[in-house]
Amino acid sequence: MAITIQHVEELLNEIGIQNFNTEENYIRFSMGPCDRYVRPDGQDSLFLVIDLTENGEYFRIFSPRAYQIQGPHIDAFLKATAIIQWKTKLIQFEYDPSDGEVRPIIEWPIEDGTLTATQLRRCVSGLLGLLDDFHPVLQRAIDDGVVEFPDDRKAMIERLEILLDKLKTQQAADESSSSDDSGEGGPPSVL
């Protein structure tokens, strides 16, 4: 049982992604803004493509030109991508030596199965989250030729602090937009 582009469109809508462009066998959309990841063109969003091949029996989601790597630090960058692949198991990186394009990608055969909203959500959030998390490591490999991964606990604490700051900002915005003169009915002021 192969899947169709229409099925993927329905799943995208189900997981809350409505701004996408559909072609015959693929769908394009952007996700962001990102906290750390920046595309080679300077945008802080991740451009994604969902591609069905083999008559809908093979699924791929990738970010074309997520990185453009040339110069003396290609080997360090590729080493960093290999370590990320080993650490995460979800994401792979494709490298085109003819022009330096690097694509993070998640792919698998659908064959006689199907694609669920949960799987698609994990793919989208996985690509976005992993690239955002590992961007400093990859950028340092590009710029300095250094492959160095932060202590996983330290990185997790930093990420949680970023999320906590976002939550506090959102909570403050919610409080200011929903407060009334009586002071009742607003969200709690403490996390």
pLDDT in the model for residue 166: 80
pLDDT in the model for residue 188: 44
Query: Is the separation of the CB atoms in 148 and 137 below 8 Å?
Result: yes
pTM for the structure as a whole: 0.77
Q: Percent helix, strand, coil in the chain (nearest 5)?
A: 40, 20, 40
Show pLDDT as tens, one digit a residue, over the chain (191 residues).
689 999 999 999 999 998 999 988 899 999 989 999 999 999 999 999 999 999 999 999 999 999 999 999 999 999 999 999 999 989 999 999 999 999 999 999 999 899 999 999 999 999 999 999 999 999 999 999 999 987 766 767 777 788 788 888 878 877 877 655 444 444 444 44
Rounded to whole angstroms, what are the CA distances from 35 to 104, 130, 133, 162, 183?
18, 11, 9, 8, 34
H/E segment holding residue 77 = helix 74-88
Distance CA 50, CA 41 (A): 21
The position carrying tokens 């992993």 is 130
Contacts of 81 (CB under 8 A, 6+ apart): 93, 95, 102, 138
Distance CA 50, CA 175 (A): 38
Distance CA 116, CA 12 (A): 10
pLDDT in the model for residue 186: 46
DSSP 8-class letter at 150: P
Distance CA 117, CA 14 (A): 7
Query: Is the separation of the CB atoms in 101 and 64 below 8 Å?
Result: yes
CATH of region 5-147, choose from 3.40.30.10, 3.40.1830.10, 3.30.1460.10, 3.10.20.30: 3.30.1460.10
Helix (H, G, I), strand (E, B) or coil at 49: strand
DSSP 8-class letter at 4: -
